[in-house]
Structure 1
C-alpha cells in the first residue's frame, strides 16, 4: 500500500472515530439536558407530590412543584446536595434517626460556599392551602437541570416549618443568626423528599 493510500485510510479512520465520539458527546449532553421529574414522598413512602425542573435557555431554569396532603401554611423548600432519600437515616452528630438526613445539606455550587439563603438550592417557600394542596412555578438562574444529576445526584426536600431565610435582625437577636439558621433558615424537620438520581454517562 502506498504512503498516500495509507494516509487517506488513516485520515478516514480518525474522522470516523471523531464522528462517533462527537455523536456520543452530543448524546450525553442531550441526556444531561433532559428535564428532571421526580416524585416527592413523605417519611412513610407515600407519594405527596412531584417536582419538575426544565431548562428554558442558556441561563434560566423553570421549577414547578405540586404537593398534597401536607400541613397548611408555609414550608421550607430546597434542593439538597445528595440524591438519597432515606427516611430512616441517622444524624451522626446526635445518633438519632433524622428522616432524609441522607440528602445532605443545601446544594451549593459556588466555590467557597454560601450561607442560607444564598445556597444554589435555596428556593421560594412553598405555600400549602387549607385543603393540604400547594403548587408553585418559578424561574431561577441558580442551577441547571444537568447540575442536579451530577455524580451523587441531589434531592428536593419539603420541610415541616417555614423558612426564615436567616432573616434575624440584630434588634431581635443581638448576636445575629446562629449556625443552624445560617444552614437551613430554621425550616425544621424534613417532611418529604424526592431523589434526583445521577445520569450515567454513555460508554
Structure 2
C-alpha cells in the first residue's frame, strides 16, 4: 500500500514538473531476510536527479543512505552491492574537503514507528549516459546502513563508508516499467 502511494507520489511529481523531460527508475528495498521493507524512486529531471525513499520496519534513528556501485542485492549482507558509487575517485563524506563520493547522500531518519521517508537531490549522478550514470555496465543499488554516516569530517582517507555499520536494506536500481 505504501509502495503504491510512494510510486503515485513520484508519478505525480514527474507530471507536475514536466514528465516528457523525465526518466524514472525504482529500487525495491529488501532486508537481510529477503523481505521487502521499502522502495526508492529515482526521477531524472532537467534540474538533476531526485531520490524518494520510503521504508518500514527499520530501527528508529538516523541511518546512512548511499548509492552503491554494483547492481546486485544479495542477502544477507549485501556486500554484492560493492562500495559507494564513486566515478570521480573522491574520498568519502559530504563534509570531506576531498569528497564526496557521488553516492554519498544525507542520512535517513526513521521515526519511532519505524517508518522513514526522505526526498534527496543527488546532483553528482544521472539516470542518463556518462561516467556518472547509475546504469553503467554493472548497474547500481540503493543501500541503507545500520548506523548514521559520520560524513568523514576528519577527511580520513581510510574511512571509505562513513563508519555506518552493516547494510540493513538494499535494492537494485531498475527502470520503472
TM-score by length of 1: 0.67
2:69 maps to 1:81: yes
2:109 maps to 1:127: yes
Larger radius of gyration: 1
2:137 pairs, out of 134, 151, 154, with 151
2:132 maps to 1:177: no
Q: CA RMSD in A?
A: 1.8
Count how many residue pairs are aligned between Structure 1 and Structure 2.
145
Inter-partner Cα distance in structure 2 for 1:116 and 1:178: 8
Q: Unaligned regions of 5+ residues in structure 2, if any?
A: 1-21, 94-99
1:1-203 to 2 correspondence within 5 Å? 34-57=23-46, 59-88=47-76, 99-110=77-88, 113-117=89-93, 118-146=100-128, 147-168=133-154, 177=156, 179=158, 181=159, 183-197=160-174
Deviation at 1:150, TM superposition (A): 1.8
Higher helix share: 1
Higher strand share: 2
Deviation at 1:45, TM superposition (A): 0.8
Inter-partner Cα distance in structure 2 for 1:55 and 1:197: 13
Find the residue that maps to 1:115 and give its secondary structure.
coil
Comparing 143-152 with 155-164, greater Cα deviation is found at: 143-152
Inter-partner Cα distance in structure 1 for 2:101 and 2:31: 24
Inter-partner Cα distance in structure 2 for 1:152 and 1:178: 25
Deviation at 1:177, TM superposition (A): 3.0
